[in-house]
Amino acid sequence: DAGVIQSPRHEVTEMGQEVTLRCKPISGHDYLFWYRQTMMRGLELLIYFNNNVPIDDSGMPEDRFSAKMPNASFSTLKIQPSEPRDSAVYFCASSPYRVANTGELFFGEGSRLTVL
């Protein structure tokens, strides 16, 4: 079975441009998470969905960030306009169950974003 699939793997853009990151979770997984990883702050939860509905977006840094999940097999994280401080690796992860039951998330390979 395919794992979590993210695209693009690498993105270099200029400040002010719109960035869209994409994620396809593992089939049958009802929970989808977006994380951001930086050297300074480590791995931070941005937002998570259950059955395509956003449950907790308290980690989204500001209004420039938005996430959607139009169906069970696709989610996007959009940054508009992008800023250099948004440079990070963005991970998507999914789980078939509430994560508190098993402690296990399945991560994609990440999208490395560089904003110049």
Partner 1 sequence: GQSLEQPSEVTAVEGAIVQINCTYQTSGFYGLSWYQQHDGGAPTFLSYNALDGLEETGRFSSFLSRSDSYGYLLLQELQMKDSASYFCAPLGGSQGNLIFGKGTKLSVKP
Q: In terms of CB distance, is 74 or 109 closer to partner 1?
A: 109
Would you state the structure tokens that stand for residue 93, as one six-digit string? 């992860």
DSSP, collapsed to helix, strand or coil, labels residue 12 as: strand
Would you state the structure tokens that stand for residue 13, as one six-digit string? 């853009």
Task: Enumerate binding residues for partner 1 (CB under 8 A).
Answer: 33, 35, 39, 41-45, 48, 55-56, 91, 98-100, 102-110
Q: In terms of CB distance, is 93 or 115 closer to partner 1?
A: 93
- Phi/psi for 100 (5° steps) reads -65, -15
Measured over the CA atoms of residue 64, residue 56, residue 70 and residue 36, the dihedral's sign is: positive
Q: To the nearest whole angstrom, how small is the minimum distance from the Cβ of residue 48 to partner 1?
A: 7
The alpha carbons of the chain give a radius of gyration, in whole angstroms, of 13
Q: To the nearest whole angstrom, how small is the minimum distance from the Cβ of residue 66 to partner 1?
A: 20
Closest alpha carbon to 88 in 42, 20, 49, 32: 42
Q: In terms of CB distance, is 45 or 72 closer to partner 1?
A: 45
Q: To the nearest whole angstrom, how small is the minimum distance from the Cβ of residue 107 to partner 1?
A: 4
Q: To the nearest whole angstrom, how small is the minimum distance from the Cβ of residue 23 to partner 1?
A: 12
